[in-house]
Chains A and B, each alone.
Chain A
Amino acid sequence: MNDHSAFHPQLDKRRRYGTLIAGLLFAATMLGLLVLATLIVDVVTTGSGWLSKQFLTGYPTARPETSGIWPAIVGSLYLMLVVAATTVPLGVGTALYLEEYADEGGLKRMIQLNITNLAGVPSVVYGILGLGVFVYLFDMGSSLLAAGLTLSLLVLPIVVISAQEALRSIPQGVRESAFALGATRSQVIWHHLIPMALPGIMTGVILSLSRAVGETAPLVLVGASLAINFTPAHLLDDFTALPMLVFQWTEEPGASFQELAAAAIIVLMAFLLLMNLSAILLRNYFEDQLTG
């Protein structure tokens, strides 16, 4: 009984404190959602009136009423294809090397540090790099390929890091059992690690594609077009992309173009939503395969 009197549980106070913290954390979560909701409501109310077949299938012109975003939709889609085609092999390859082959030591640590830092470099800097290397040095001009490769550099660190995390989360036992049964390292990678890491890798790739699709600064620097009357026919062709038109239209003096920008943002967000949705579906599909 003595013990009990020495201990002051203040249970009510601690419970109240706990509720307060939970409330604050909930508020923090809601704040983010509120910002998103405001953005969506604002954009949809301003822009939805402009969404029409003409807007989705037409070409950008000097008049808001006749402007469309078809070449930008196609351009953004092609850019994503270029980014996916380059970042998946490079990113997964780098992650496999770092996680499965590289010896622990100075070199690996240095590479790791650089990749982590690269993930935080502002996109304008990548744009300048892309302009100097792809547009000028490799003489690709302001082409789809030059822009796609620049965006690939931008998101490559994200792909590497997420693939590394996916590989790291595979229990060491999987590798050891496979080795114990006589599998070679490449067999372990192809037959076990890649399939098991696939959901994580897929998620990383698609999330980084969603980041790339919204980037404007690198495209501005590489010199994407704004008025264009065709969709790219090949990799070295001129192109435009959704964020380019959004950026240009928000700079216009008239109100109509700003509403048009909002409409283009709706399409861009639908694009993003679709990509994230497919990320989730793909991940679930592969997870089902693993466990089922």
Chain B
Amino acid sequence: MNRLPRLTGWPAALCSVALLAGLVLFTGCGGDTVQTVRVDGSSTVFPISRAAVTDYQQENPDARVVAGNSGTSAGFQRFFRGETDVTGASRPIREDELRRAEEAGIEFIELPIGYDGISITTHPTNDFVSCLTVSELNAIWRDESPVAQWSDIREGFPDKEIRLYGRSSASGTYDYFTEAINGERGNIRDNYNASGTDNATVQGVSRDQRGMAFFGLSYYENNSDNLRLIAVDNEQGEGCVEPTQETVANGTYQPLARPEFIYVNVASMQDNPEVVSFVRHYIANAQRFVRQAEYIPFEAAVYDTVMQRFENRTTGSMFEGSGPTIGVRIGDLLDRMNTNDAPAPSDSTTTAPDTTNVGS
């Protein structure tokens, strides 16, 4: 009557292998002498950080460096909990986040590492738009915008429905775009097709003859055959400017270009010397990493200032909690870094130039 199954034969072998593997996993806990360097944060900055991380890994095979991309805000949350040593951000730290950092006793160094542009695009067959002004963009995208047809934007545009595509509120691109064009983070009409990824937005507009979209510039460059790039006129006398490596880097493509940052935890640098050597490597080769990630690097001299800021352990934010800051050109960035680096700023006249928002 012994017909009931028992663990014999190959299933038994399979199970014991699984158990053994489990045991190895459990008992492997002893050897964690090398500390791990953890990098997280913005998904926009991630490709740059990944280039830095893998390059560093290749040169230092024994170092343990990992990178994730939780997003700017979630990344800061982990950073304040001391879980990560370096966090990427596609906008400067916000005031509420500064307060939380202070409560958590986290001191950080803020380092700009490159530029990213936001592109405005339409379907390639669209032949009537080539340039839009910031106020036109604002009229199209702002909350409760009445624009329903292309002709509502400018006289002479056809009486055709306009369909809008863009990133959803989870992204730094959304934060920056709404701030730059509509004057306030999160101010945007509610009837546009919001996607979680740039690729989905690209897919949307490249298949819709009446579409218009905003997303990261590198996504335009990779899909330029299926898209039409729209120049932007910021109405400050520079006329229509198309986003290119050059116009983004020299600051003429504004307001839709923004610097990207990494934040380094000062306590981590003391606990784990690997963090210092990793960040040094990151800044020293930043031009290469930024290019590899298809963003736009600063000039070499700017990275010298960034490196100085890191070596001087200049803590705190040069934006003092303003969050997404519009119209930060390379000169502004250098001014801010220099002002912030100075041992004791004498008065407020030396502080950074006005960063009044464009738009309504």
Contact = CB atoms under 8 A, between A and B. Distances in A.
Nearest to A239: B66
Contacts of A223: 40, 68, 70, 78, 83
B4 interface: yes
A171 to B, nearest CB: 15
Contact of A238 (B9, B36, B46, B292): B36
B83 A142 contact: yes
Interface stretch (B24-32, B124-132, B148-156): B24-32
Interface string A184-207: 000000011001101000000000
B43 interface: yes
Contacts, number: 128
Nearest to A285: B11
Given A62-B51, A226-B46, A253 B198 contact: yes
A contact residues, range: 35 or more
Interface string A79-119: 00100110000000000000000000000000000000000
B29 A235 contact: yes
B211 interface: no
A237 B24 CA distance: 14
A61 B58 CA distance: 10
Interface stretch (A1-9, A44-52, A244-252): A244-252
Q: Which of A78, A81, A198, A227 has the most CB of B within 10 A?
A: A227
A251 B198 contact: yes
B142 interface: no
| Interface residues of chain B: helix, strand, loop or mixed (majority) | helix
B5 A254 contact: no
Given A59-B57, A192-B4, A196-B4, A253 B216 contact: yes
A237 B57 contact: no
Contacts of A85: 22
22 contacts: A63-B292, A81-B21, A136-B81, A142-B78, A198-B5, A220-B70, A223-B83, A225-B38, A225-B68, A227-B65, A227-B67, A227-B68, A232-B25, A235-B26, A238-B36, A251-B198, A251-B199, A252-B47, A285-B11, A289-B5, A290-B5, A291-B3
Interface of B: 3-6, 9-11, 14, 18, 21-22, 25-26, 28-29, 31-32, 36, 38-40, 43, 46-47, 49-51, 53-55, 57-58, 61, 63-70, 78, 81, 83, 197-199, 216, 218-219, 221-223, 289, 292-294
Given A223-B40, A227-B53, A289-B3, 10 more contacts: A60-B50, A60-B54, A62-B289, A62-B292, A225-B66, A234-B28, A253-B218, A253-B222, A289-B4, A291-B3
Interface of A: 59-63, 77-78, 81, 84-85, 136, 141-142, 191-192, 195-196, 198, 220, 223-230, 232-238, 248, 250-255, 278, 282, 285-286, 289-292
Q: What 9 A-B pairs come out closest when comparing CB atoms?
A: A289-B5, A227-B67, A62-B51, A61-B54, A225-B66, A234-B29, A229-B57, A253-B222, A195-B4
